[in-house]
Amino acid sequence: MSPDGAMRTLLPSHERVVWGLAYRLTGCAADADDVVQETFARALERTEPLEAQAWRPWLMRVAANLAIDVLRRRRRQAYTGSWLPSPIETEAEPAANVASPEARYAQLESVSFAFLLALEALTPQQRAVLILRDVFDYSGRDVGAALSMSEANVRVTHHRARRAIRSYDGARCIPTLALQERTATVLTEFVRCLQAQDVAGIETLLAVDVRTITDGGGEYTALHRPLVGAERVARLHLQVAGHRLPGGLHTRLRLMNGLPAMVIEYGLSERRQAPRTVLRCEVDEAGRIRELHAVLATRKLSAVPFDAAFSEPPTRRL
């Protein structure tokens, strides 16, 4: 087999873990796809050979730095409205050996919306250090080698990153089976109430200080800032659902980012109205919805499988 052929056979065995790193760093499946594509293109362009076992560290280093560049570009550009991560399908029990069992944050937790949103408070370098150290269980020395930092700088950056997400650590989102079941029950009932225009039913499901965030990416009609309060949130979602119901809709519950989410497709779509939405929620200890997320932007839904009656994009699953 030619060297090029050997490389093309070797690279796919690393794709899952490299994509997982890129997704956790960027929070966007489409950006992760771009990072993996560029990383593998650079691997194929290498003129100096590497031993088979040396490819994983090299690929992770290149992907991490490319993802940092993506984050820096994103921070320089104005984003229309609120930013939410891309939904991706996850397994109830993720495959072993993608990350070390000794890592501070487990695989499912580290792709949860709560965790990815908490990471938005970090600088790109802080985010990379924290993910490599606490998700992929890299040593300080290995992080330094990957990001061209001294071990001392890695320690300082890691400390600052952990301090910046202390509020998340105080109420971590660990996708247990019990939480998955509770979320599925509440979300399914919420969507049923929307379809039935059941005002009283909606009110019983929402926490008093519930917050809703919608991400249309400037492409579709969406909130420009979070909306807070049970009455206001209920009214918004009931109005949106009532407007879209005449065209019909198709719903499917899927496990996404560690927790159930509702994939919604509308039979008819008007200009500036998203034809597809992923609706998800966070529930409090009383089983009420404390936060609702609606992801509408097309680029954010690149990894979401849709009904076969509609166009179905390629899926990514962690």
- The residues spanned by each domain of the chain are 1-77, 177-301
Backbone phi, psi, residue 283, to 5°: -110, 150
Question: Residue 176: is its pLDDT beyond 80?
Answer: yes
The vertex-65 CA angle with 59 and 67, nearest 5°, equals: 95
More confident residue, 217 or 52: 217
What is the sign of the dihedral through the CA atoms of 134, 139, 140 and 142? negative
Question: Residue 312: is its pLDDT beyond 50?
Answer: no
30: nearest Cα among 67, 61, 56, 59: 67
90: nearest Cα among 106, 102, 101, 103: 106
Pairing verdict, β 289-295 and 206-215: parallel
Residues 200-218, mean pLDDT to the nearest whole number: 96
Average of per-residue pLDDT values in the chain: 89
Q: Is the CB of residue 294 less than 8 Å from the CB of residue 266?
A: no
pTM of this structure:
0.91
CATH architecture of 1-77: Orthogonal Bundle (1.10)
Question: Residue 221: is its pLDDT beyond 60?
Answer: yes
Strand (E) or helix (H) holding 283: strand 276-283
Question: Residue 178: is its pLDDT beyond 60?
Answer: yes
CATH number, domain 177-301, options 3.10.450.50, 2.60.120.380, 3.20.20.100, 3.40.50.12780 = 3.10.450.50
